[in-house]
Amino acid sequence: MLKNYLKIAWRNAQRNKLHASIHIIGLAVAFAICTLLFLISYFHLSFDSFHNEKSRLFQTTRFENNAQGPQLTSNMPLPLTQALKSDIEDIETAVIVNRGRPENISYQNKDLNRVIVRTNPEFFELFNFPILSGDAKTALSNIQDIALSESTAKAIFGEQNPIRKELKIGKIGAEQVYTVSALLKDAPKNSSIRFDAVARIESLADFAENQNNWGANAHNVFIKISEKSNQQQLESKLVPFVEKYYPDQLTQLKMEHPETAKTSELLSLNLTNIEDVHFGARGAPKALIFAIMGLGAFILLIACFNFINLNMAQSFKRSRELGVRKTLGAYKKQLFFQLWGEAFFIYFIGFVFGMLLASQLVPAFNAQFGGGVEISTLLEPSFLIIMGGVFLMVTLIAGGYPALKMANFGLVEILKGNVSTKKPGLLRNTLLIAQFSISTLLICTSIIAAQQLGFLKQKPIGFEKEQVISIPVGYQNDGRKVLARMKNELADDPTFVSIAGSGANLGRGRDRSTTRSIVSTEYRQNQIQAYSLLGDFDFLKTLQIPIIEGRDFNKNFATDTVNAVVVTESFVKAMGESDPIGKYFGGEDEMSGNRIIGVVPNFNVHSPSEQALPVAIHLSAKEPINYIFVKVKSDDPASAMGRLEPVWEKVAEKTVFNGSFLDENLQAWYEMERVITSVFGIASGIAIFLSCLGLFAISLMVIQLRFKEIGIRKVMGASVRGIVSMLSLHFLKLVSISLLIALPLAWFAMEKWIQGYEYRIEISPLTFIGVGLLVALVAILTVSFHAVKAALVNPIKSLRTE
């Protein structure tokens, strides 16, 4: 029987090649896109799920409602871990994690830049990062111990055993000697904590200075709670903890918000489960991941709607076949399984082609969206079970419903040729409306997201980003010496306008590194949170940031490298000071405070999509210069870049030239918006394609059913234009209903989405009008192809009896 069903399914597919092709192509595309979107969602939702006791692992975050507005950060002070362990018995273990930046690792004649995480010895007890060689309990027993990842160890030592070998870490002249104590398996791609090596927190250069400083917030803290405790109970115990260790801040916040009595509404320590850490401020929002999953489901739904519509439309053509089978004794159950088997056959072919297409598109998908998806994930049992479940559910619903309806056709009505549903076309029309509603919603989303992205890119950021080259100094050279050499080498070249050093990059360059330093300070009891930015004497000149009050840094003032600061207008506003020049903050005098020497307009240190904080620019004779900015004056900036490379090789022999233009670096600021625009743009394109594919096939089936009616109308004098209008008007009504449903939903959803941006567009009604006209035009063109063709047919041919 099964063999017979397969034969019939194959013959029907051959007999109706057009509809079978539409089914298979639509299903293959839908399954491929759905698989890719589910893969990226699966990857993000699996972050940190490999830890054995993940339900008991949490990261601390701090909420502060100060004069600048609510602030949420995961940056914590060094003394927090010890205080948590000693004061709260529900906490079994607490570790500090300094994620750090790449550092120079030297062994014999090899030098590598690698990311070193600094932490406590209990790190390997808290997290499940497999140790290939060594002991978790003693891996960081000594302050100068270091555990290397497998790939780092291989890059340094090749096939040699790395255990007990010594490495030098740090800039030349300031290296520290470490002993390799353990070999780690590389951190999984779905780990929030990424590292090439792990060392003790005490080995940080500023550890002794900040180990008791509750104001130096530069680290993450992770805790493991006891089995008897839970997140809610522990957070309630953190309220008196905050009152004990943050009394000065609470006093100041209560002065700023006298109407607020609760401590938790002013300042609180909160917990984030390890599986949700990835979705924090710097990761992909969880809502976006679920939205991507929803996109995959929507696209698959559209393909299912096509299948149901076409099968129901074809049921009228197959009514005699079903009548003969019933006359010969076929039961409803047999007819159902035969018809559902045919649907399963088509779906299986579409599913296989879709999975093959998805596997071929994974590399391109990763390149476009920067995902960590691997082809091997397709073969993971858990993912196969998910996709297998999706396939069976879709097949049962989309294939089972038409099969059930067709199997229930009455024998007498079939033989009389009077087969019809109780409400002809109701299901078909509903599904078509749903298809175009989804497509319209996705098109509106992608267009508005693109408008917001364009708005952010065009918004002035407050400094010169064109024709400014950013060069990472690397970790083998002294940045100050390299900066001085470059200024000497390029002093007589008019192409290079100015050169400056910085402690941090703006955006993300070719070293793929980005850092931020947020400091909390006070001025006359006003709490101020600001970005701290290390510059040098030509920093403002190179970035063309004008001084609007006071003066720039000047080499003639010796104290400028000690405590002089240039701040933004928003910093002055947060101070509440009308005349800031010469004022000290963070202390009352030159010995303890920072002296403001100049004020500049507000500018963005990080993405305009984030809340903008004030900025304080300072000089330092001790802090390292990590990046060099070069302002070029050239009609051909690319040639200036080429001329810089040999100069760099001369002044920084041990570091590869990784220069990039600032405007390219700043693209990293808009990564999330770019992903949203691209994903929704592709999804909307696929959705409208599948919707039109279905409309194309349905319009053909409807016109075939009305073939004789069209002939009669022509005989009675109807014009070609009139017939085309009649046939198109029905589908245009359905599209209009879908627009009335989708456009208000799109406006509501996108209006809510852009509220999350400090700088945002005003959504124009013209956008929705344009989308509506576009969707209607595409639908009319799709239907008109068959309508014109049917209207031009000779009525003699359409009225001829069989």
Amino acid making up residue 150: E
CA distance to 23, 82, 317, 326, per residue, from 321 (Å):
21, 80, 9, 9
Give dist(CA 663, CA 668) in Å, integer: 10
Residue matched to tokens 């792990």: 198
What is the pLDDT averaged over residues 456-469?
A: 84
Closest residue by Cα to residue 470 from 660, 607, 669, 650: 660
- Tokens representing 617 are 């620019």
* 209 to 218, 220, 531, 607: CA distances (angstroms): 13, 18, 21, 31
Please name which of 736, 740, 743 lies closest in space to residue 780, comparing C-alpha atoms.
Answer: 736
The alpha helices in 523-631, defined as continuous H runs, are 539-542, 569-575
**What's the rounded Cα separation, in Å, for the pair 200 and 176?**
13
Which pLDDT does position 424 carry in this prediction? 47
In this predicted model, which residue has the larger pLDDT, 271 or 719? 271
Please give the DSSP secondary-structure letter assigned to residue 459: S
| Residue 95, pLDDT above cutoff 90 | yes
CA distance 584 to 596: 6
Three-state secondary-structure class, residue 367: helix
State the average pLDDT over residues 378-393: 80
DSSP of 709-732, one letter per residue? HHHHHHHTT--HHHHHHHHHHHHH
Contact assessment for residue 775 and residue 440, using Cβ atoms and an 8 Å cutoff: yes
The 8-class DSSP code of residue 67 comes to T
Which helix (H) or strand (E) segment is 10 a member of? Answer: helix 2-15
Strand-pairing partners, residue 499, are 630
Taking Cα atoms as reference points, which of 116, 117, 115, 105 lies closest to residue 172?
A: 105
On the question of pLDDT at 672 being above 60, the answer is yes
Q: What is the spatial distance between Cα 519 and Cα 601, in angstroms, rounded to a whole number?
A: 20
Cβ pair 618, 534 in contact under 8 A: yes
b/e per residue 391-415 (b: at least 16 CB within 10 A) = beebbeebbbbbbebbbebeeeebe
List, for residues 38-81, the tens digit of each pLDDT value: 888 888 888 898 998 889 999 999 888 876 677 788 888 899 99
Could you please report the per-residue DSSP string of 600-611?
E----SS-TTSP
| Angstrom distance (rounded) from CA 111 to CA 551 | 42
Instruction: Report the percent of the chain where pLDDT is more than 90.
Output: 18
Give CA–CA dist 503/573, Å, rounded.
Answer: 25
Q: What is the pLDDT of residues 493-520, one digit of tens each?
A: 888 889 999 988 888 877 777 777 777 7
In angstroms and rounded to an integer, the radius of gyration of the C-alpha atoms of the chain is: 33
Residue 715 in tokens: 């005989």
Closest CA to 297 of 487, 511, 37, 557: 37
3-class SS at 482? helix
> What contacts 759, CB < 8 A, 6 or more positions away?
455, 456, 459, 608, 609
3-state helix/strand/coil string of 285-348: CHHHHHHHHHHHHHHHHHHHHHHHHHHHHHHCCCHHHHHHHHHCCCCHHHHHHHHHHHHHHHHH
pLDDT over 80 at 555, yes or no: yes
| Tokens, residue 750 | 């996108």
- Averaged pLDDT, 541-565: 89
Q: Which residue has the tokens 């910085």?
A: 502
List, as one string, the DSSP characters of 620-671: -SSSPP-EEEEEE--S-HHHHHHHHHHHHHHH-TTS----EEHHHHGGGGGH
pLDDT value for 747: 93
Average pLDDT over residues 274-301: 79
Q: In this structure, what are the phi and psi dihedrals at residue 647, rounded to the nearest 5 degrees?
A: -65, -45
Q: Are the beta carbons of 531 and 516 closer than 8 angstroms?
A: yes
Reference 308, options 434, 433, 399; nearest CA is 399
Q: What is the pLDDT of residue 415?
A: 57
Q: What is the pLDDT of residue 412?
A: 57
Structural contact between residues 585 and 528, judged by C-beta atoms closer than 8 angstroms: yes
Q: In 3-state terms, what secondary structure has residue 5?
A: helix
CB 638 within 8 A of CB 606: no
Angstrom CA distances, 324 to 3, 118, 223, 320, 411, stand at 20, 78, 72, 6, 9
Would you state the pLDDT for residue 588?
Answer: 66
- Kindly give the pairing relationship between strand 166-169 and strand 102-107: antiparallel
Structure tokens that stand for 611 in this block:
């809340």
Which residue, among 61, 580, 529, 595, has the nearest Cα to 253 in the 3D structure? 529
Backbone φ and ψ for 118, nearest 5 degrees, come out as -105, 135
As a whole number of angstroms, the distance between CA 595 and CA 579 comes to 13
Q: What is the pLDDT of residue 413?
A: 59
Give me the pLDDT at residue 421, please: 46
Residues in contact with 685: Cβ distance below 8 Å, sequence separation at least 6, in sequence order: none
Residues 752, 753, 754: CA angle, nearest 5 degrees: 95
Residue bearing tokens 């507005």: 69
Counting every residue written for the chain, the total comes to 802
For residues 209 and 79, is the Cβ–Cβ distance under 8 A? no
- CA distance between the termini of the chain: 33
8 Å CB contact between 469 and 660: yes
Helix (H, G, I), strand (E, B) or coil at 319: helix
Question: What's the whole-number average pLDDT of the chain?
Answer: 82
- Contacts with 519 (C-beta within 8 Å, 6 or more apart), sequence order: 529, 530, 531, 532, 616
Which whole number is the average pLDDT over 21-42?
Answer: 84
Q: What distance in Å separates the CA atoms of residue 80 and residue 222, rounded to the nearest whole number?
A: 10
pLDDT at position 328 is 67
pLDDT score at 379: 77
Q: How confident is the model over 149-177, as pLDDT tens digits?
A: 999 999 998 888 989 999 988 876 678 89
Alpha carbon distances (Å) from 349 to 49, 77, 210, 249, 354: 34, 58, 64, 65, 8
In eight-state DSSP terms, residue 473 is -
Backbone angles phi, psi at 585, to 5 degrees: -130, 155
Rounded Cα gap, residues 687 and 679, in angstroms: 12
Give the tens place of pLDDT for each residue, 585-643.
Answer: 877 666 668 899 999 999 888 877 777 789 999 998 888 888 999 998 877 777 888 88
Dist. CA 93–CA 637, nearest whole Å: 54
Task: Label residue 769 by pLDDT band (50, 70, 90).
Answer: very high
DSSP collapsed to 3 states, 94-152: EEEEECCCEEEEEECCEEEEEEEEEECCCHHHHCCCCEEECCCCCCCCCCCEEEEEHHH
Question: Which range is least confidently modeled, 226-235, 471-480, 481-490, 760-769?
Answer: 471-480
The pLDDT value recorded for residue 150 is 93
pLDDT at 361: 85
| Whole-number percent of the chain with pLDDT over 70 | 89
